């Protein structure tokens, strides 16, 4: 089974801090994605990557950046955390084409205080 | 029109009931379709892909109507363990490598 691992299950950070969320997948998937999930808003795409060192903006990239230096690792960076970035962050990966759907990590619940 | 639209529910059904969820999508060029299941405070997990000819997996049947841009999921003989939120998912536009768009989900509670 594909495994997608997110480094932290729960995280509490202060406003203005730089926050790193790490995601690692172990099945050689080309594609990786970062979503956030909020009540009433569903999953919203932040950034995605189809290859190493490649990144594309999703629907809500403002306040975020990403890094993909290795195929198996996709990092989400909150440049200066704000309270409206309190959310559940979900990383996912897929094979090229995504025809088999995505596999998600177990999520990081981030609280910014 | 929203990219993917679902009835939010909740659907409260007794054990053994048959329940159907519907979903509409806005982009006629979409080519990949899925149903995901999400348990409370857990990540979404793939339930089944949806094919043009319709497909079945045990008690679950998925249908796709491209002309109406409509997807359905039928659950027969509901179990308590089916209680979850069901997410309708389509790819954003035609072609292979485009991101998936998730509906907000339909919540199902199966009651003993």
Name the region of A41 (left: φ>0; alpha: ψ -120 to 50; beta: rest).
alpha
Residues A107 and A88: beta-carbon distance below 8 Å: yes
Note the pLDDT tens digit of each residue in B50-88: 988 889 999 999 999 999 999 999 999 999 999 999 999
Whether cis (ω within 30° of 0) applies to the bond prior to A94 is: no
Output the pLDDT for position A84. Answer: 97
Long-range contacts, stretch B61-65, CB < 8 angstroms, 24+ apart:
B62/B33, B62/B35, B64/B33
Show Cβ contacts of residue A26 under 8 Å, excluding neighbours closer than 6 positions.
A2, A3, A5, A72
Output the pLDDT for position A100. Answer: 82
Q: Nearest CA to A93 among A20, A27, A15? A: A27
Output the pLDDT for position B94. Answer: 60
The residue of chain B with its CA nearest to that of A33 is B99
Say if A40 is an interface residue toward chain B (CB within 8 Å): yes
Selected residue of B89, B100, B101, B105 to mutate for chain A interface (largest A Cβ count, 10 A) = B100
Q: Which of A50, A99, A107 sits opposite B43 (nearest CB)?
A: A107
Note the pLDDT tens digit of each residue in A82-102: 999 999 999 999 987 777 889
Output the pLDDT for position A1. Answer: 65
Name the region of A13 (left: φ>0; alpha: ψ -120 to 50; beta: rest).
beta
Say if A39 is an interface residue toward chain B (CB within 8 Å): no
Whether the pLDDT of residue B8 is over 80: the answer is yes
Residue B97 — pLDDT band, cuts 50, 70, 90?
A: low
Output the pLDDT for position B106. Answer: 96
Q: Nearest CA to A92 among B83, B71, B46? A: B46
Instruction: Measure in Å the smallest separation between the Cα of A15 and chain B Cα atoms.
Output: 24
Output the pLDDT for position A96. Answer: 78
Whether the pLDDT of residue B1 is over 80: the answer is no
Say if A111 is an interface residue toward chain B (CB within 8 Å): no
Say if A47 is an interface residue toward chain B (CB within 8 Å): no
Output the pLDDT for position A98. Answer: 72
């Amino acid at each position: 089974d594909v495994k997608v691992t997110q480094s932290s299950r729960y995280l509490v950070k202060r406003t203005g801090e730089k926050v790193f969320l790490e995601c690692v997948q172990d099945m050689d998937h080309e594609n990786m994605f970062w979503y956030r999930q909020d009540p009433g808003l569903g999953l919203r795409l932040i950034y995605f990557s189809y290859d190493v060192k490649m990144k594309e903006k999703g629907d809500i990239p403002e306040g975020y950046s990403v890094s993909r230096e290795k195929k198996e690792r996709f990092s989400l960076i909150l440049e200066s955390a704000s309270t409206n970035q309190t959310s559940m962050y979900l990383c996912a990966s897929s094979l090229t084409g995504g025809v088999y759907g995505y596999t998600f990590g177990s999520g990081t619940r981030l609280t910014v205080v | 029109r929203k990219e993917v639209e679902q009835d939010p529910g909740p659907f409260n059904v007794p054990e053994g009931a048959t329940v159907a969820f519907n979903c509409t999508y806005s982009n006629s060029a979409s080519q990949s379709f899925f149903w995901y299941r999400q348990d409370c405070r857990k990540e979404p997990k793939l339930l089944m892909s949806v094919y043009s000819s319709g497909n079945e997996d045990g008690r679950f049947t998925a249908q796709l109507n491209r002309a109406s841009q409509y997807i359905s999921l039928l659950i027969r003989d509901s179990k308590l363990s089916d209680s979850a939120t069901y997410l309708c998912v389509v790819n954003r536009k035609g072609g292979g490598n485009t991101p998936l768009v998730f509906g907000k989900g339909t919540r199902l509670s199966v009651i003993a």
